[in-house]
Amino acid sequence: MRFKGTRVLVTGGAGFVGSNLVNRLVEEGAQVTVLDDLFTGRKESITCLNDIEFIEGSITDFDLLEKLMSNKDFVFNLAVRNIIVSVKSPRLDFKVNTEGTFNVLQAAKNVGIERVIYTSSASVYGNPRYLPINEDDRLSTINPYAASKLCGENYCNAFYETYGLPVAIVRYSNVYGINQTPLNPYCGVVSKFFDSIMKNDVPHIHGDGEQTRDFTFVDDAVEATLLAAITPRAEGDVFNVGTGKETSVNELVSRIIAITGSNVKHNYIDRRDIDNIRRRVLNIEKSRRVLRWFPKTTLEAGLKKTYKWLLQQELRNSDVMIKDPEKAVDALVD
């Protein structure tokens, strides 16, 4: 196993992607410490909670960070205020996403971390001039969230070039899947659509629905993140994490309706006041070439896995006693 015996700190490890990363690291034999303030994270998402060290706290606490890093090999920095929160409170967004990332890098430099992996976002590209988007294309920060994530990237580059701190950056594109619970009001569009349709409510599409995104299943995003930590040539570089396939919101809703077997009809409402990107799809050739990574999960397969997980959660939280929710869900979906 690639991470057997390694000592790892995951900031934001109770969040959606973070919890999947933690579960995977423990499977691979790592000794994991999680730092999370539980603003949007859920300890319940960490299935191996008894096998890790969990610290409730924030990356804004420099002394705590330095203490937690003192005996670690790798640091995965996933702690973040998401895009919706950032627009409502840009100062807190700066405090966590930018200053917090600076704290992570400064502490890592002080204690001598083997590598810091910073999870950024495709939002740093803004509305692209060309598709698919390459890592060296023009960057355009059109909201506070994108600005803070790019600032974190810039500090990663500065610490790498100035102090020789080993870093690697991954830019996620619309990650969805297991542990992206609709109970979180800030969850992504895939979970929101599933939640509405499973409740037989009308899913609302902003604008005309022809806006596109590159939807990435969480298992693939986690694998790319792990490879960024251990691939020698990844040091000091940035990598797109997507699928290279463009999907419209209209198509996404249609696929989810088909998977759930629902007869619900969607409707259209005013376009969003944030993240108004018309088209997005990433070029992932650099990730294929350097990280030897490629996404293994098709959109159809990823949506079905997400649906199964959501059904399992629904059964577990119901008053009906079911001995094996996973088998029950497999019978329903398959």
High-pLDDT (> 90) share of the chain, % = 86
Q: Residue 204: pLDDT above 90?
A: yes
Q: What angle do CA 214, 215, 221 make, to 5 degrees?
A: 105
Q: Residue 321: pLDDT above 90?
A: no
pLDDT band at 333, cuts 50/70/90?
low
**Cβ count near 303 (within 10 Å):** 24
Cβ-proximal residues to 196 (8 Å cutoff; 6+ apart), any chain: 202, 203, 204, 264
| pTM score, whole prediction | 0.94
Q: What is the pLDDT of residues 161-183, one digit of tens each?
A: 999 999 999 999 999 999 998 87
Same domain, 229 and 304: no
pLDDT band at 270, cuts 50/70/90?
confident
Across-strand partners of 9? 33, 75
Cα distance between residue 244 and residue 294, in whole Å: 10
> Is 186 assigned a catalytic role?
no
From the candidates 118, 125, 130, 145, give the one annotated as an active-site residue. Answer: 145
Cβ-proximal residues to 153 (8 Å cutoff; 6+ apart), any chain: 118, 120, 124, 169, 238
Cα distance between residue 205 and residue 189, in whole Å: 10
Q: Residue 185: pLDDT above 80?
A: no
Across-strand partners of 116? 75, 167
Residue-level pLDDT at 319: 54
Residue-level pLDDT at 327: 52
Burial class (CB in 10 A: 0-12, 13-18, 19+), 270: exposed
Cα distance between residue 113 and residue 160, in whole Å: 12
Same domain, 59 and 28: yes
Cβ-proximal residues to 202 (8 Å cutoff; 6+ apart), any chain: 196, 264, 265, 266, 267
Helix (H, G, I), strand (E, B) or coil at 86: helix
pLDDT band at 60, cuts 50/70/90?
very high
Q: What is the pLDDT of residues 13-27, one digit of tens each?
A: 999 999 999 999 999
Across 136-150, average pLDDT: 95
**Domain with 102 in it:** 7-173+218-241
Residue 324 lies in a domain: yes
Which domain CATH number covers 316? Answer: 3.90.25.10
Residue 53 lies in a domain: yes
The two tokens of residue 326 are 């996973």
Stretch among 77-86, 164-173, 174-183, 305-314 having the lowest mean pLDDT: 77-86
Same domain, 234 and 327: no
Same domain, 124 and 273: no
Same domain, 236 and 316: no
Same domain, 88 and 230: yes
Same domain, 148 and 269: no
Q: Residue 331: pLDDT above 50?
A: no
Residue 116 phi, psi (nearest 5): -105, 130
Cα distance between residue 276 and residue 215, in whole Å: 16
Residue-level pLDDT at 84: 80
Same domain, 136 and 207: no
Q: Residue 320: pLDDT above 70?
A: no
Q: Residue 216: pLDDT above 70?
A: yes
Across 148-157, average pLDDT: 98
Displacement of CA 160 from its chain's centroid (Å): 23
Same domain, 30 and 91: yes
Torsion of CA 124, 147, 89, 205, to 10 degrees: -20
Residue 81 lies in a domain: yes
Structural domain tally of the chain?
A: 2
The average confidence (pLDDT) of the chain is 93
Same domain, 272 and 159: no
Across 59-66, average pLDDT: 98
Cα distance between residue 309 and residue 315, in whole Å: 10
Q: How many residues does the chain have?
A: 334
Residue-level pLDDT at 168: 98
Q: Residue 114: pLDDT above 50?
A: yes
Cα distance between residue 124 and residue 143, in whole Å: 9
